[in-house]
Amino acid sequence: MVIVMEPGATEEQIQKIIDALTRKGFDAHRSTGATRTVIGAVGADAGILDPRDFQLMGGVREVLRITEPWKLAGRIFRPEGSVIAATSARGARVAFGGPEVVVMAGPCAVESEDQIGSVAASVRRAGARVLRGGAFKPRTSPYSFQGLGEQGLKLLRAAADAQEMLVISEVMDASQIDVASKYVDILQVGARNMQNFTFLRELGKATLPVLLKRGLSATLEEWLLSAEYIMSSGNHAVILCERGIRTFERYTRNTMDISAIPVIHRLSHLPIAADPSHGTGLRDKVAPMARAAVAAGADALLIEVHNDPDNALSDGAQSLQPGQFAELMAQLKGILPAVGRRLA
């Protein structure tokens, strides 16, 4: 942290700042220029100082943070990048963050054995390796369909095993981690839970990889700090997932921040996936945005596919039909070599 004093700051004011820093356990490094004094705070935990604590002290013009606030999630912790493997009990395996781009696909919500079996078969045929499907559904309205719960997880697991796929599904609460861990291979955390800190700590004790979606208005810094919560509690297998942020645009449900992909790759060693289904909210925008995400360097895709979108119990409007998904996979195969990647 750098504290820039006003040109007319008094010696007493400067000393008060230095004392406050010292009291909080930092070395204060003072440099006196022709017109103003600048004080640097140096210490192992400089990242956790709140700049605002100094902003209103006498004689202070501005306070600037100079270190990133994370430790384990930062690129510097593992400059070569992390490769995070997920495996199923039956031996299916994918790796996120390596040369292969992993495609996860399936319906928004598990609705029935027929539905999930049919979708699993078609997305597997087209090249998806991980089956997605919601059993616990976070819905904005208490009156919307809330998912089949554990029964949905069972159907999801059976459908994935029949296709030698892995399973990803959302958990909404610490109380669901144990039951979900019996059936899924990757735990998904939704955008609205990105800063549910109690929950993040519990996920840090889980043994499965966690896919952490970005909050609707989260900055990249907050997102990485949420990953830090999970990692600092013991679980380093975190996959980030961009799913659109809120802007004032009304033609799309969210604005998918494709630039988050290269920026996260520079700030962090963690792999990053993209969810163009939630990112746009409209079926005919999913394919262009999936292509864009891969072209920008995404390590994985999470895509909603439904065998009968018009009658889906939730989010049918943003689900691809199986034929549209197969067509998209063919386009992706054309783009991947240009960015030095291949399909998992």
> Which 11-40 residues touch its own copies, going by CB under 8 A?
20, 23, 27, 29, 31, 33-35, 38, 40
Q: Which is nearer to its own copies, 295 or 326 (CB)?
A: 295
Q: Between vectors from CA 201 to CA 200 and to CA 206, what angle results, nearest 5°? A: 90
Interaction residues for its own copies, span 41-60 (CB under 8 A)? 42, 45, 47-48, 50, 52-57
Q: Which is nearer to its own copies, 33 or 91 (CB)?
A: 33
Please, what is the minimum distance in Å from the beta carbon of residue 16 to its own copies? Answer: 9
By CB neighbour count within 10 A (0-12 exposed, 13-18 middle, 19+ buried), where does 255 fall?
middle
Task: Name the percent of the chain in helix, strand, coil, to the closest 5.
Answer: 40, 20, 40
Please, what is the minimum distance in Å from the beta carbon of residue 91 to its own copies? Answer: 32
Please, what is the minimum distance in Å from the beta carbon of residue 222 to its own copies? Answer: 6
Please, what is the minimum distance in Å from the beta carbon of residue 123 to its own copies? Answer: 20
Closest by CA to 305, choosing from 326, 288, 285, is 326
Interaction residues for its own copies, span 289-308 (CB under 8 A)? 289, 291-297
Please, what is the minimum distance in Å from the beta carbon of residue 147 to its own copies? Answer: 11
Are the beta carbons of 271 and 211 closer than 8 angstroms?
no
Q: Which is nearer to its own copies, 207 or 251 (CB)?
A: 251
Are the beta carbons of 37 and 14 closer than 8 angstroms?
yes
326 binds its own copies (CB under 8 A): no
Distances (CA, A) of 325 to 98, 287, 294, 295, 302: 23, 8, 15, 17, 12
> Residue from 312, 320, 329, 344 that binds its own copies (CB under 8 A)?
312
Q: Which is nearer to its own copies, 85 or 330 (CB)?
A: 330
What 8-state DSSP symbol labels residue 148?
A: -
Are the beta carbons of 159 and 116 closer than 8 angstroms?
yes
Size of the site for its own copies (CB under 8 A): 111
Q: Which is nearer to its own copies, 18 or 166 (CB)?
A: 18
Interaction residues for its own copies, span 63-122 (CB under 8 A)? 64, 66, 69-71
Interaction residues for its own copies, span 139-198 (CB under 8 A)? 139-144, 172-175, 192-193, 195-198
- Using the contact rule CB under 8 A, the part of the chain among 78-86, 93-101, 153-161, 228-236 near its own copies is 228-236
Name the 3-class secondary structure at 85. Answer: strand
Q: Between vectors from CA 200 to CA 316 and to CA 69, what angle results, nearest 5°? A: 115
Interaction residues for its own copies, span 234-253 (CB under 8 A)? 245-253
Place of tokens 């700051």: 9
> How far apart are the C-alpha atoms of 280 and 251, rounded to whole Å?
9
Closest by CA to 38, choosing from 61, 57, 65, is 61
- Using the contact rule CB under 8 A, the part of the chain among 111-119, 147-155, 177-185, 335-343 near its own copies is 335-343
> How far apart are the C-alpha atoms of 126 and 106, rounded to whole Å?
12
